Chains A and B, each alone.
Chain A
Amino acid sequence: MKTRLLNVWSVLKLPLVAILVGFVVGAFCIMLAGSNPLTAYAALLKGSLASLPSFGETLYKVTPILLTGLAAAIGFRCGLFNIGGEGQYVVAAIATVGVAWSFQGLPHFILVPILLITGALVGGVWGGIAGILKAKRGINEVITTIMLNWTALYLSNYLVRTLLNPSRLLDKLPSGHTVAVPEAARLMKLKVIIPAFGYSSAHTGIFIAIGVAVLMWFILFKTTLGYEIRAVGFNPTASEYGGISSAKNTFLAMFISGGLAGLAGAIQIMGLVYMVNQSPELPGYGFTGLCVALVGLSHPLGCIPAALLFGILDNGSRQMQLAGIPKEINAIISAVILVFVAGALLLKYINVYFEKKRGAGKPRFKEVREV
């Protein structure tokens, strides 16, 4: 039992220390800006956790980044850097609007699953394109997913201006956004169930996201699919030897990863924004997802607190601004946390690499202890 606790600690100390350092560095920056760090952090917590409504605001920020975080995590587990969460999110969002509009006659409890599946499928296909290119042609997924991000954005902008524009569908003046999804397509707000959530826009999407995190944990660690994905991620040649197709699992991992990012897009539309705006830039949830996955150590359950952390930093910044602290401080804190987690992970890989070079096959006592 004691060793088990030690093990848990040895895994968790990395992100925890990074977070601590992040806040310490943040504190220095706040002092440089001439404010009191304690007031600042009190404001941060007050703005994000202190009351049910403010906590609700945090929750709705957590929802999409938890899903894109899971998307990035599953990619990492298969040795893939899916930087295309953005594009997968965007195509899924626009598809959700389109499908919701087309099936607006359907009742809520049928339309919602249809839309969730649509979002996941469309995002999955978008990720799957990069997956196939990687599996069949060995084209680096970083390049293809970045390219697909912009393809997705401009495709979405085109659809916003044309097919899904209120001018086409509703006989209104042209506008910079699509039509809104029908009432039946919208997720329930938490304040409807628990009135204490007050002004918050939190919606039931958070439960879907948490459910998906648990599901992904199960898939990664309890199924043959997860076993194979992880095997390919760690050692493609040994996987091949064990009869595991690296191409198939690369595709599947990219498909699932894209599907999760797509789900984030669908849920964001259904729970919060109800429409897609024409936009000159990518929404950013995919990138934040990469941070969530890194801090969550690519563990689906680790992504939950990691997403919460980034949600708190995001939501709490308003209250901090009211207390006179620039909101950039929060960006600094997230950046420092990331640098430390990523840096430590990098060091670990470098270490493992050199240990391998130094003495392959020699007992590595240190590791025995850590496991």
Chain B
Amino acid sequence: MKGRWKKDLPKVLEMKNITKVFPGVVANDKVNFDLEKGEIHVLLGENGAGKTTLMNILYGLYQATSGEIYFHGEKVDIKGPNDAINLGIGMVHQHFMLVENFTVTENIVLGSEPSKANGLYLDMETARNTVKEVSDNFGLKVDPNALIQDISVGLSQRVEILKTLHKGAEVLILDEPTAVLTPQEIDELGVILKNLTQEGKSIILITHKLKEVLSMSDRVTVIRRGKIVDTLKTKDTNIDQLAEMMVGRSVKLTSDKEDKTPGDVILFIENLVVKDTRKYDAVKSISFDVKAGEIFAVAGVDGNGQKELVEALTGLTKTVSGKVSLCGKDITGNKPKKVLEAGVGHIPEDRHKRGLILQNTLAENLILGYHYCPPFARKGVMNYAKINEHARTLISEYDVRTPNEYVTAGSLSGGNQQKAIIAREFYKDPVLLIASQPTRGLDVGAIEFVHNRLIEQRDNNKAVLLVSLELDEVMNLADRIAVIYQGEIMGIVEGKDATERQLGLMMAGASMEEAIEGGKADNENKIA
């Protein structure tokens, strides 16, 4: 404690005129940011706007090129995370830093383990008690003896928060905390954060999700291209204003599409059965078809067989039984290469695992899947002049923000990586486009772009199969919606007739009839 009087100052933290220059990029440009005691302050911005850089400076991971940081009114010099932790600043990273096969307790005390007999033994008893104490104090319930690998993502995040609290954090920085959570877990997190502020903690939340800003924060600072746009009280603003400030132009959060009569059946699936990696039936006898000129959406909560369905359609997983045909041709069990050659484009749900080879150049990634086809390769010899030219064309056409086509795909931001994948898949002009969570992790501007491209594909009389966890997205885009629950299709509804309530009930396992009745039936089963 550095003098009691300083506690009365309303500002816990002030960052003044922070500038951070990376070679060729100004990531933060004279940024001012402050945090009041007991508030939740959102730092809102698109991917690559500089919000994480700013927080990394605060946490000591980067050093600012210029500018000052004041903590409780006193100028501080944060040289590394240890300095930050000593000051009482804790950070919960987007991707958890937990040891999977350690218990909750072991993870929380990691780095400051209590010991017995002069450091010879770990004193797990004391550790457990400390953990219990901390978790009771802040109302964060966890089982101290559970292994991290056995607990849910939401609980892991709780452990991360406890870890920072255990180290005595007074200011918590949470980097995109909701990216990995289900709607219910997001609500719980909201409650937890409120409780923490009542205990006198101050919280900085980094996010690009507008809804959360409105539901969780007291104040919001919008950052765009490294500069602060404005700091507002949350209650004085609204979603459209924030979106516009964040992107720099007005964005439409819903997209228009004209009515269109669908054409021939392109994709036909009959009684498809697929097992998951643990050999359980993940997809149980699914049948549906997708027609030319329509967007057919598969909605559902994550882990209900969507991944296996898409992987089976694209040949990445074996089908157990059933039939898949494309334009009347049987493609059941074909190798991925044959499926691609049959005219399927695929935007995979996991762009790092499936979509891109991060260590290869952007240009090389932009031909993945047709890298052996002319004009990019002839008789097995690649034509890099053509490949680079192709990359430049796609980069400008799809507005992929990159210094050039030679950088590694891994150096691009998430939104730009996704744009690159979309560019590559659209270039093939596929008869069927399978878009699996195409906007996952994207910010508002990029989402609008992806949605428009999907609609454009539909308007060009191509078939689009959209698999998405976001109900908003499904209802906004789809002509028909199938709801998947535990590997089965609960029903298929016309997009224009669908209501959020009905889809929500079906996503929780209600049949279509029940769901239509469901409006009055029960209120407890509500799915947001």
Contacts and interface: CB of A to CB of B under 8 A. Distances in A.
Interface of A: 222-225, 227-228, 230-231, 234-235, 237-245, 352, 356-369, 371
Contact of A239 (B94, B97, B357, B359): B357
Nearest to B360: A234
Contacts of B337: 243-245
Interface in B14-42: 22-25, 27
Contacts of A364: 410-411
Interface stretch (B187-195, B253-261, B262-270, B376-384): B376-384
Interface string B465-486: 0000000000000000000000
Contacts of A227: 364, 371, 377, 382
Which of B336, B351, B384 has the most A CB atoms < 10 Å from its CB?
A: B336
A234 B358 contact: yes
A244 B355 CA distance: 13
A357 B413 CA distance: 14
Contacts of B381: 222-224
Top 10 nearest A-B pairs (CB, nearest first) are A361-B414, A243-B337, A365-B22, A242-B368, A367-B411, A241-B354, A242-B369, A363-B413, A357-B95, A235-B357
Contacts of A359: 52, 93-95, 175
Interface in B208-241: none
B48 interface: yes
Given A234-B360, A238-B354, A368 B382 contact: no
Contacts of A245: 335, 337
A40 to B, nearest CB: 40
A366 B95 CA distance: 20
A241 B336 contact: yes
Interface string B395-421: 000000001001110111111010000
A238 B357 contact: yes
Interface residues of B, number: 57
Nearest to A241: B354
5 contacts: A222-B384, A223-B377, A238-B353, A363-B413, A367-B410
Interface in B31-64: 47-48, 52-53
B441 interface: yes
A365 B357 CA distance: 18
Q: Looking at chain A's contact residues, is the secondary structure mostly helix, strand, loop, or mixed?
A: helix
B368 A238 contact: yes
Interface string B92-110: 0111010000000000000
Contacts of B341: 243
Contacts of A358: 93-95
B19 to A, nearest CB: 14
Interface of B: 22-25, 27, 47-48, 52-53, 93-95, 97, 175, 314, 316, 335-337, 339-341, 346, 348, 351-361, 364, 368-369, 371-372, 377, 380-382, 384, 403, 406-408, 410-415, 417, 441
Given A224-B380, A235-B358, A365-B25, 12 more contacts: A224-B371, A228-B371, A238-B353, A240-B316, A240-B336, A242-B369, A243-B335, A358-B94, A359-B95, A360-B94, A362-B413, A364-B411
B438 to A, nearest CB: 14
A360 B441 CA distance: 10
A345 B341 CA distance: 38
B407 A368 contact: yes
A235 B381 CA distance: 22
A306 B354 CA distance: 35
Given A238-B355, A365-B22, A371 B411 contact: yes
Contact of B336 (A223, A243, A361, A369): A243
Nearest to A243: B337
B380 A369 contact: no
A366 B61 CA distance: 13
Nearest to B354: A241
A369 B22 contact: yes
B352 A356 contact: yes
Contacts of A228: 371
B439 to A, nearest CB: 13
Which of A223, A241, A356 has the most B CB atoms < 10 Å from its CB?
A: A241
A362 B23 CA distance: 17
Contacts of B351: 361
Contacts of B364: 227
Contacts of B371: 224, 227-228, 242
A241 B348 contact: yes
A299 B97 CA distance: 34
A371 B352 CA distance: 19
Contacts of A223: 377, 380-382
Given A224-B377, A243-B335, A361 B417 contact: yes
A365 to B, nearest CB: 4
B207 to A, nearest CB: 13
A371 B384 CA distance: 17
B359 A360 contact: no
A368 B353 contact: no
Contacts of B24: 368-369
Nearest to A235: B357
A199 B25 CA distance: 59
A95 to B, nearest CB: 28
Contacts of B356: 235, 238
A9 to B, nearest CB: 14
B368 A363 contact: no
B360 A230 contact: yes
Contacts of A365: 22-23, 25, 27, 53
A224 B357 CA distance: 15
A360 B413 CA distance: 9
Contact of B403 (A243, A352, A368): A368
B159 to A, nearest CB: 16
Contact of B316 (A230, A241, A363): A241
A366 B408 CA distance: 12
Nearest to A218: B381
Given A222-B384, A238-B368, A361 B47 contact: yes
A368 B356 CA distance: 17
A237 B307 CA distance: 14
A224 B382 CA distance: 6
Contacts of A360: 94-95, 352, 414
B230 to A, nearest CB: 23
B359 A234 contact: yes
A359 B180 CA distance: 13
Nearest to A366: B22
B93 A231 contact: no
A225 B175 CA distance: 41
Contacts of B354: 237-238, 240-241
Contacts of A230: 360
A243 B340 contact: yes
Given A360-B95, A368-B25, A222 B382 contact: yes
B415 to A, nearest CB: 8
Contacts of B352: 356, 360-361
Contacts of A352: 410
Nearest to A231: B357
Contacts of A369: 22-24
A345 B417 CA distance: 25
B380 A371 contact: no
A363 B336 contact: no
A365 B411 CA distance: 7
Contacts of A231: 357, 360, 368
Nearest to B52: A362
Given A222-B384, A224-B380, A368-B24, A363 B372 contact: no
Contacts of B316: 240-241
Given A224-B382, A243-B336, A363 B48 contact: yes
A362 B97 contact: no
Contacts of B335: 243, 245
A227 B363 CA distance: 12
A134 B219 CA distance: 56
A366 to B, nearest CB: 7
